[in-house]
Amino acid sequence: MFEKLRQVFSFQKKEVKDLLLELEEKLIEADVGWMTAEALLNRVKAEAPSTSEQVSIILKNTILEWLQPKEPWGFKPLKPHTILFVGVNGTGKTTSVGKLAALWRKEGKQVMVVGADTFRAAAVDQARIWAERAGVEFYSGASQSDPASVVFDGIQKAKNSGTDVVLIDTAGRLHTQISLMDELKKMVRVAEKALGRPTDDVFLVLDASLGQNSLAQALQFMAHLPLTGLVLTKLDGTSKGGVVLSAVRETGLPLRFIGLGESKDSMQIFNPARFVQKLVE
């Protein structure tokens, strides 16, 4: 995994000036993206290293600095901690919801999955199946219901039952689909009304295998929604991994969770230090 990104730390050239040219090529090959690659190179140059070992140290420290969130993620004290999952079609929103439900159920949390993609019966069924696998409660309302009303009713039900965590699965959409983006905004407003406070999290789910296209999606969704973090899926299926750096640095959003497989236990809290260590091993 991340073979291309790991190669950034294995240099063939020994002269630093030649090494920087090699580094630029490797960063682009690893799908880091031009802006982030240039920023990394500028940081290295500013430190004026004299050896390849010093270059590696600068790279490691800089990447860790960029990936380290301003504050760690955790459940808020007021229940239920409510998270909306948004993104385009096919990024793995529903599977991410199911896997996180399983993770937190295993930790002893009372979890509810709300299937708010109400216009596709298959989507509701998929969310229900994942909730059953995770052993958590599921709510979707009637077929063809207004998604915002499903969100409101689901949160109310969770509040009445003392649920700890509510995970809301939404329909995939493009930022250019204005009516659907407005629908998402409405869902956020309705969730806040049901909670009597701001929604705890709005996570954008991105497919790591799409590389820089995922970054473009993130920037577009940021313009419409109060995103609080990123979830990167299918990281186990890409040899590059550079999108991890560019997505975090260029959006300013913390990467909270990563998907590393198909099983319900394959979702993990993102650990920047562990990620960087794997790159330099």
What is the set of domains in the chain, with CATH numbers? 3-67 (1.20.120.140), 81-272 (3.40.50.300)
| DSSP code of residue 205 | E
Q: What is the SS3 assignment for 161?
A: helix
pLDDT for res 3: 62
Average confidence (pLDDT) over 154-179: 89
Average confidence (pLDDT) over 124-140: 94
State the pLDDT confidence band at 198, using cuts at 50, 70 and 90.
very high
Higher pLDDT residue, 278 or 225? 225
pLDDT for res 128: 95
Residue-wise DSSP of 91-159: S-HHHHHHHHHHHHHHTT--EEEEE--TT-HHHHHHHHHHHHHHT-EEE--STT--HHHHHHHHHHHHH
State the pLDDT confidence band at 1, using cuts at 50, 70 and 90.
very low
State the pLDDT confidence band at 239, using cuts at 50, 70 and 90.
low
Measure Cα distances from 70 to 228, 248, 249 in Å: 12, 12, 12
The strand pairing partners of 204, in sequence order, are 86, 230
Mean pLDDT of the chain: 87
| DSSP code of residue 63 | H
pLDDT in tens, 17-72: 777 888 888 888 877 888 888 998 899 889 988 887 888 889 889 999 999 999 99
Average confidence (pLDDT) over 192-210: 92
Q: What is the C-alpha separation between 125 and 127, in angstroms, rounded?
A: 5
pTM of the model: 0.90
Q: What is the SS3 assignment for 194?
A: helix
Contact in structure between 155 and 113 (CB atoms under 8 Å): no
State the pLDDT confidence band at 13, using cuts at 50, 70 and 90.
low
How far is C-alpha 105 from the geometric centre of its chain's CA atoms?
20
Contact in structure between 243 and 212 (CB atoms under 8 Å): yes
Contact in structure between 44 and 57 (CB atoms under 8 Å): no
Q: CA quadruple 141, 155, 110, 114: dihedral positive or negative?
A: positive
Q: What is the C-alpha separation between 195 and 277, in angstroms, rounded?
A: 40
Contact in structure between 141 and 118 (CB atoms under 8 Å): yes
pLDDT in tens, 207-233: 887 767 777 778 888 888 999 999 998
Q: What is the C-alpha separation between 81 and 160, in angstroms, rounded?
A: 14
The length of the chain, given as a count of residues: 281
